Structure 1
Amino acid sequence: LLLPDDIRPQDAAAVLLKGLTAWALLFEVRPLQAGETILVWAPVGGVGSLLVPWAASLGARVIAVTSTEAKAEKARALGASDVIIGYEGVADKVKELTGGRGVDVAYDSVGRISAEESLNSLRPAGWFVTYGNASGPVEPIPPGRLAQGGSLVMTRPTLFHFIPDADSLARGASLLFSALKSGTINADIGQRFPLSEAAKAHEAIESGTTTGATVLVP
């Protein structure tokens, strides 16, 4: 993969993996359409912080779910139209915000504790995209549960299934770098460490004191 001349290597390092994940979710797994409403869990996390502004730029209404008011403020700044604080009663709040309809797609990186709320937040024939397990893996969901919820669709995508060759990787990277150059998304580098201090970088991440991306520089 060749970087465009106007993309800084540090920005590419900070955004490439999570940015390609966001690209796959929005353009490949289930292409998002302007005017649709989506639910995004963990909107200020690694992937979520790219998913929210990118989806908003495509014309989607973004309802975000997060845990604190501070994170809610950041989610709004990223482009979320509405923010739900707390993980209880999410589906009821989503239905209130959508006039009882539900969302078209739920992007869920939380996993076990949020799956049922995601399913209950969907409109008929809506998509449950579970792409992370922050709270543990999702419990098995029988097909009948999807039928009961309104002919729902569930998928558990893995990025590398969507970039099986150089052409697909280049296609995804092209859209990602375009979004980065336009300011739709940003690399959000919170801290940089010399490569010789890689151990310190790991310690900082493990301590939970870092913000944004952590980049090692030569």
Structure 2
Amino acid sequence: MAKRIQFARTGGPEVLEFVDFTPADPDAGEVRVRHQAVGLNFIDIYVRTGLYPVPSLPSGLGTEGAGVVDAVGDGVTHLKVGDRVAYAQGPLGAYSELHTLPAEKVVSLPDEVAAETAAASMLKGLTVQYLLRQTYPLKGGETILFHAAAGGVGSIACQWAKALGVRLIGTVSSAEKAALAKRNGAWATIDYTQEDVVERVRELTGGEMVDVVYDSVGKDTWQTSLDCLKKRGLMVSFGNASGPVEGVNVGILNQKGSLFLTRPSLNGYADTRERLEAMSEELFSMLASGNIRIDISHRYPLADAGKAQEALAGRLTTGSTILLP
């Protein structure tokens, strides 16, 4: 037996239950991981509330963790029992002591990267990798707008952008978060509770506006994001923290300057083991070199996953939060 978080109905943090369960033995092509740390992400809240439906209930939760291979199924050749590993995709169930998932979703963890660091950065770091290196391949010299720049994804994006020589303008909700984003390498910050984001972007760019906007907030920032783009700029909508963007008239992209729009996801980029490994290697290299440092601001026992999600949803956190089995 082992412990895990599960939910039998969608709703608030109160639906999460800390229960005993029997971990599955790995089938062919699978491995079982004994977690040392588990990642906490906004997508977990989307799943819990029903915004992202699950196949069946009761359901496990979470898609990111790091630890040691506990068992290996037939046909798995790139991993063995005892290997240090991490993952950010696969079936729900990372909020657990043990988790069984396809081996192709699991990558080896180099000695230079701690398990807690990997659990705090795999999903967020791979997200930044595809955003900055693939969705809009930044080469240096560009000016970009990144919403929620003091959050887990934003903190990594600030550092990665600086390493690339990119001017990142980050939106934040307080002076404290602005200071954090600047420490992480943001070129400039905008406190949207005190400043008009569009006007401030216009001032910062001398009226040119930005090449690309990265928006994980969704409904509340949709119009603002479009207004910050230069002609033929790219709007990257990759999250729904304030709710999904709905009822969009695509003609507005023409009206605002022949804009481009994409709604990417990690699964759309890390869709093969080869691509996942290449993306992970770049992330691990950035971590090992010190170009990216992961701020684990909050650690919660696995049993307190509901409290951790509540803090994340309430914007009471900065940096990354992890759960400890």
TM, length-normalised to structure 1: 0.91
- Is residue 163 from structure 1 mapped to residue 254 from structure 2 by the alignment? no
Residue 175 of structure 2 is matched in structure 1 by 69
Assess if the C-alpha contact under 8 Å between 2:177 and 2:318 holds in 1: no
Measure the CA separation in 2 of the matches of 1:38 and 1:48: 12
Measure the CA separation in 2 of the matches of 1:55 and 1:80: 8
Which of 237, 241, 244 matches 1:134? Answer: 241
Would the alpha carbon gap of residues 207 and 68 (structure 1) be closer, same or farther in structure 2, given more than 3 Å must change? Answer: closer
CA deviation map 1:163-183 (0-9, x unaligned): 111100001001101111111
Measure the CA separation in 2 of the matches of 1:83 and 1:154: 24
Instruction: Report how far residue 143 of structure 1 moved.
Output: 2.5
- Is residue 189 from structure 1 mapped to residue 293 from structure 2 by the alignment? no
Q: Where does the alignment leave 5 or more consecutive residues of structure 1 unmatched?
A: none
More strand by share: 2
- Is residue 41 from structure 1 mapped to residue 147 from structure 2 by the alignment? yes
Would the alpha carbon gap of residues 165 and 63 (structure 1) be closer, same or farther in structure 2, given more than 3 Å must change? Answer: same
Residue 228 of structure 2 is matched in structure 1 by 121
- Is residue 60 from structure 1 mapped to residue 166 from structure 2 by the alignment? yes
3-state SS, counterpart of residue 190 of structure 1: strand
- Is residue 4 from structure 1 mapped to residue 120 from structure 2 by the alignment? no
Q: Where does the alignment leave 5 or more consecutive residues of structure 2 unmatched?
A: 1-106
- Is residue 200 from structure 1 mapped to residue 311 from structure 2 by the alignment? no
Assess if the C-alpha contact under 8 Å between 1:89 and 1:117 holds in 2: no
CA deviation map 1:29-55 (0-9, x unaligned): 111121000001100111111111101
3-state SS, counterpart of residue 129 of structure 1: strand
Assess if the C-alpha contact under 8 Å between 1:52 and 1:62 holds in 2: yes
Measure the CA separation in 1 of the matches of 2:223 and 2:188: 20
Measure the CA separation in 1 of the matches of 2:299 and 2:305: 8
Q: Which has the larger radius of gyration?
A: 2
TM, length-normalised to structure 2: 0.63
Instruction: Report how far residue 186 of structure 1 moved.
Output: 1.8
Which of 81, 96, 99 matches 2:203? Answer: 96
Measure the CA separation in 2 of the matches of 1:118 and 1:40: 9
3-state SS, counterpart of residue 114 of structure 1: helix
- Is residue 179 from structure 1 mapped to residue 283 from structure 2 by the alignment? no
Backbone CA RMSD of aligned residues? 1.8
3-state SS, counterpart of residue 178 of structure 2: helix
Assess if the C-alpha contact under 8 Å between 1:129 and 1:154 holds in 2: yes
CA deviation map 1:124-167 (0-9, x unaligned): 11011111111111133322211111111011111101011110
Residue 22 of structure 2 is matched in structure 1 by none
Measure the CA separation in 2 of the matches of 1:45 and 1:147: 32
Measure the CA separation in 2 of the matches of 1:171 and 1:62: 25
Would the alpha carbon gap of residues 135 and 143 (structure 1) be closer, same or farther in structure 2, given more than 3 Å must change? Answer: same
Q: Percent identity?
A: 46
Measure the CA separation in 2 of the matches of 1:77 and 1:138: 31
Measure the CA separation in 2 of the matches of 1:127 and 1:80: 20
3-state SS, counterpart of residue 108 of structure 2: coil
More helix by share: 1
